[in-house]
């Protein structure tokens, strides 16, 4: 296969992902409504109880809505990653994943293409969210919208790769509720999305440690800094490292010779 054929395959996968996204209106709407509920209801309620001191990357006092916006951006990407994972499990049960798996391209390439297609969809969702968030005065510097793009690509890849790993481990669709309880909620709540780390540290050192090792915290901080034109090298390094680990696990999980797909119960006959 030549490079141009790889490109065609990638564009085919991207196109299908976009079509599916546009077809599923409910998914589209809920992806948009979820962060807005947090912003419009949760944050509005908390802004009076939580005082924000000046912390990096902000150079002034900020309302709570502004604080949690990057966390919500990351949440959109987290949900999207899990949604792709869900659709992988669904595709596997429905058989349509075979179309992808018998394509004469290396598995790692197919998985990476699928991953990047999901990231592209999540980024479109983020920008739509940010456009609406302007009504809550979440208005990073104009250049920030552009500068956050690479951060979102990296964070999206990491969260999407986590979804891929999970999809190779989850046997059936029914088990997906477990993913919600044991992955999405802990990752989101035990991160700097809703609470700044210094505040967590004040209340509990243990909790602070948990927050600090959570890769989602680093995804949030990477996005937060980039939105204000700053680069958080530590967060970028951690997110990149987790992406590589998750991707390696996913490729292993989907490997026809070694992976879990081959070891699992086999087809029902």
- Contact residues: other proteins, CB under 8 A: 1-2, 4-6, 8-9, 11-13, 15-16, 19-20, 23-24, 94-106, 256-257, 259, 261-267, 269
CA dihedral defined by 173, 98, 26, 220, rounded to 10 degrees? 80
- Reported as type and span, the H/E element at residue 127 is helix 107-133
CB of 10 to other proteins, least distance (A): 8
Q: Considering beta carbons, is residue 51 or 266 the nearer one to other proteins?
A: 266
Q: Considering beta carbons, is residue 149 or 261 the nearer one to other proteins?
A: 261
Residues written for the chain = 269
Q: Considering beta carbons, is residue 230 or 264 the nearer one to other proteins?
A: 264
Query: ∠ CA(187), CA(59), CA(156), 5° rounding?
Result: 30
Is residue 171 helix, strand or coil? Answer: coil
CB of 11 to other proteins, least distance (A): 6
CB of 153 to other proteins, least distance (A): 22
CB of 156 to other proteins, least distance (A): 22
Could you give the C-alpha distances from 268 to 91, 93, 149, 261, 264, in angstroms and in order? 16, 11, 44, 14, 11
What is the per-residue burial (b if ≥16 Cβ within 10 Å, else e) of 144-154? Answer: bbebbeebbbb
Q: Considering beta carbons, is residue 106 or 186 the nearer one to other proteins?
A: 106
Q: Considering beta carbons, is residue 246 or 254 the nearer one to other proteins?
A: 254
CB of 87 to other proteins, least distance (A): 11
């Amino acid at each position: 296969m030549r490079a141009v054929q790889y490109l065609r395959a990638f564009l085919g996968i991207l196109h299908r992902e976009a079509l599916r996204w546009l077809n599923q209106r409910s998914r589209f709407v809920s992806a948009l409504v979820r962060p807005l509920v947090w912003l419009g209801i949760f944050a509005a309620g908390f802004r009076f109880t939580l005082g924000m001191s000046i912390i990096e990357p902000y150079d002034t006092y900020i309302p709570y809505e502004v604080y949690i916006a990057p966390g919500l951006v990351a949440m959109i990407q987290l949900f999207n990653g899990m949604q792709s994972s869900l659709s992988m499990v669904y595709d596997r049960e429905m058989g349509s994943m075979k179309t992808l798996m018998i394509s004469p391209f290396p598995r790692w390439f197919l998985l990476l293409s699928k991953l990047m297609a999901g990231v592209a969809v999540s980024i479109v969702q983020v920008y739509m969210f940010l456009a609406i968030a302007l009504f809550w005065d979440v208005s990073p510097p104009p250049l920030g919208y552009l500068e956050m793009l690479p951060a979102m690509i990296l964070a999206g890849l990491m969260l999407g790769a986590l979804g891929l790993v999970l999809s190779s481990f989850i046997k059936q669709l029914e088990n997906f509720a477990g993913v919600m309880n044991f992955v999405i909620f802990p990752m989101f709540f035990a991160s700097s999305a809703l609470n700044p780390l210094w505040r967590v540290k004040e209340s509990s050192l243990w909790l602070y440690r948990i927050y600090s090792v959570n890769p989602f915290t680093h995804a949030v901080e990477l996005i937060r800094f980039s939105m204000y034109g700053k680069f958080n090298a530590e967060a970028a390094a951690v997110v990149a490292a987790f992406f590589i680990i998750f991707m390696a696990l996913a490729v292993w999980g989907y490997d026809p010779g070694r992976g879990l797909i081959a070891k699992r119960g086999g087809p029902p006959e």
